[in-house]
Amino acid sequence: MNASSSAGLWDRALQTLKNEIDDESYAAWIEPIQFEHAAEGRLTLTVPSSFHRNWVAWNYQEPITRALHKSAGRDVTVDFVIAPGEEDDRLAADPAVAETLNGPHSSASASQQGRQKIELASYRLNPNYTFDSFVVGESNRFAYAAAQAVADPESRAYNPLFLYGGSGLGKTHLMHAIGQQIRSYGQHLNVLYVSSEAFMNAFIESIRGKDVTQFRNCFRTVDLLLIDDVQFFQGAERSQIEFFHTFNTLFDAGKKIVISSDHPPKELTELEERLRSRFEAGLIVDIQPPDLETRVAILLRKAQAYHLELPPEIAIFIAERVKTNVRKLEGVLKKLAAHCLVTKEAVSMTMAREQLGAFSTGDEPMKISVEKVQLVVCKFFDIHLHDLTGTNRSRKFTGPRQVASYLAREMTDLSFPEIARKFGGRDHTSIIHSHRKVQTELRGDLNRQNLIKYLMKLIKEEPINGVEK
Ligand code: ADP
Ligand code: MG
């Protein structure tokens, strides 16, 4: 078979298939199949995901074989290979994107085809989520090691593996990494990654389409099932039962199962007890928010991926402010990269500050310390800290001292006595007095108001949190 005639072979088979398979299924399952190459009675076709391959193999193997026989005039063996990730796929495989598209409120008016496309997208593995690209620190070391153990095809350890932790801490990343690693050992290993929502959607579709058997065949014949965010199973009883049986079938056949959730099994109180106890039978590992060093390392690693030159001090500046969610950390970086691309400027502290502004509400706001207030006031009035906190009654110092006392009270959550201690241990009534004085002065005095506003802005933006005394 030469290349063009073998492509023609597939094209002719497609004509036959089009007549045999209903339009919707044809569009969803057959059309995405790409001709790869053919040689000596073997035809290699590319499919978008292992789920797609499973589905096609279960449901359309027969008609495909027949159509090819008709087209070639002899038996043709088909090999399916999985397409390397395309840009769109990668986006769609981003669990956040897939969740958004395919979320619980997915529009009922979405066309069947559109929905199927989206559902498929959530089964794909993101090629960027590998073990190599995962930064290991104290907070995730154990989860990483457990995931690696599961990804060893020789190992039977930790079944099921249950990963839990807050949003954006790398659970999905590790699951995809396991999937990719297992898949790298051979196309014959069926890997299926699915969010619990996509599982439920597919299950509901199968009930509607009266093809539950096909659904079961598909889910119960994988070598590795990665099921993400099982907390969404809570309250969905039929899906839970279905998943319980899926779980048992796979488990009894010695297949691997990896589960993720935002909470440990015992806290998923709306899950059926028997499902919870299945989860508890394996290894349960948590992922904690990464420490500062790890956050900086993640930023520097991701910056490389974005071809962004990120000076370490700016990485530290960002990491000090976004603490509990790696996805948000990455979000800041993406915004910086986009900004640099447009302005053709190098990353600067000012730019980082601006981009962080948008994130400050999402993450914990940075606590403002009295030291920071003092630092900014000293800089602004060009005086020494010991003069600000000292007892010199020269007007050069009393004015700034009053302003700093006022700002300390307004911007920190410390009490007057606590603030007084940070102002050279003076009596706290003097701080109350200063605060009141400034408050009175501010009334009707626009210049003073602007000065205070300006100082507040400087304090909020000041990267250094002052020196603890
Ligand atoms: P989760 O599923 O726990 O909500 P994800 O796995 O989706 O979180 O992670 C969110 C983003 O943060 C992803 O882009 C992921 O690559 C990244 N990420 C999380 N932890 C790490 C890490 N330790 N090293 C590198 N990237 C990470
Ligand atoms: Mg996730």
Looking at the CA of 304, name the nearest ligand: 1
Least Cα distance to 239 among 193, 199, 194 occurs for 199
Neighbours of 343 (CB within 10 A): 9
pLDDT for position 257: 97
Rounded CA separation 223/188 (Å): 9
Which has the higher per-residue pLDDT, 443 or 51?
Answer: 443
| Ligand 1 contact, 328 CB (< 6 A) | no
| Three-state DSSP state, 20 | helix
Helix (H) or strand (E) holding 224, with range, is: strand 224-228
- 400 pLDDT band, cuts 50/70/90, is very high
Residue with the smallest CA separation from ligand 1 atom 23 is 135
| Ligand 1 contact, 50 CB (< 6 A) | no
pLDDT for position 89: 33
Q: Are 160 and 278 in contact (CB under 8 A)?
A: yes
Q: pLDDT averaged over the chain?
A: 83
Q: For residue 458, is pLDDT > 90? A: no
- In this predicted model, what pLDDT tens digit does every residue of 3-20 receive, in sequence order? 456 778 899 999 999 998
- In this predicted model, what pLDDT tens digit does every residue of 274-321 receive, in sequence order? 999 999 999 999 999 999 999 999 999 999 988 899 999 999 999 999
Comparing 60-74, 106-120, 337-351, the range with the smallest average pLDDT is 106-120
Q: How far is the CA of 160 from the centre of ligand 2 (A)?
A: 18
| Ligand 1 contact, 330 CB (< 6 A) | yes
CA 341 vs CA 315, 345, 346: distances in Å:
18, 8, 9
How much is the average pLDDT of 58-68? Answer: 83
Least Cα distance to 169 among 313, 15, 301, 291 occurs for 291
Q: How far is the CA of 354 from the centre of ligand 2 (A)?
A: 28
Looking at the CA of 165, name the nearest ligand: 1
Rounded CA separation 313/137 (Å): 20
Q: How far is the CA of 247 from the centre of ligand 1 (A)?
A: 26
Q: How far is the CA of 228 from the centre of ligand 1 (A)?
A: 13
| Ligand 1 contact, 177 CB (< 6 A) | no
Report pTM.
0.59
The alpha carbon of residue 398 and the mean position of all alpha carbons in its chain are separated, in whole angstroms, by 51
Q: How far is the CA of 8 from the centre of ligand 1 (A)?
A: 44
Helix-strand-coil split of the chain, %, nearest 5: 60, 10, 30
Q: How far is the CA of 170 from the centre of ligand 2 (A)?
A: 7
pLDDT for position 97: 28
Looking at the CA of 166, name the nearest ligand: 1
Query: Counting atoms of ligand 1 from 1, which one is nearest the CA of 135?
Result: 24
Which has the higher per-residue pLDDT, 365 or 90?
Answer: 365
Query: Counting atoms of ligand 1 from 1, which one is nearest the CA of 95?
Result: 7
What backbone torsions phi and psi does residue 161 show, to the nearest 5 degrees?
A: -100, 125
| Three-state DSSP state, 365 | coil
| Ligand 1 contact, 168 CB (< 6 A) | yes
Q: How far is the CA of 441 from the centre of ligand 1 (A)?
A: 50
Neighbours of 325 (CB within 10 A): 18
Looking at the CA of 295, name the nearest ligand: 1
The amino acid that residue 134 corresponds to is F
How much is the average pLDDT of 370-398? Answer: 90
Which tokens is 398 given? 């009393």
How much is the average pLDDT of 335-361? Answer: 83
The amino acid that residue 301 corresponds to is R
| Ligand 1 contact, 135 CB (< 6 A) | yes
Rounded CA separation 158/379 (Å): 57
pLDDT for position 465: 61
Comparing 23-27, 96-100, 128-132, 365-369, the range with the smallest average pLDDT is 96-100
| Ligand 1 contact, 255 CB (< 6 A) | no
Which has the higher per-residue pLDDT, 368 or 362?
Answer: 368
- In this predicted model, what pLDDT tens digit does every residue of 237-255 receive, in sequence order? 888 999 999 999 999 999 9
Least Cα distance to 128 among 174, 191, 183, 68 occurs for 174
Q: How far is the CA of 121 from the centre of ligand 2 (A)?
A: 15
| Ligand 1 contact, 173 CB (< 6 A) | yes
Residue with the smallest CA separation from ligand 1 atom 26 is 134
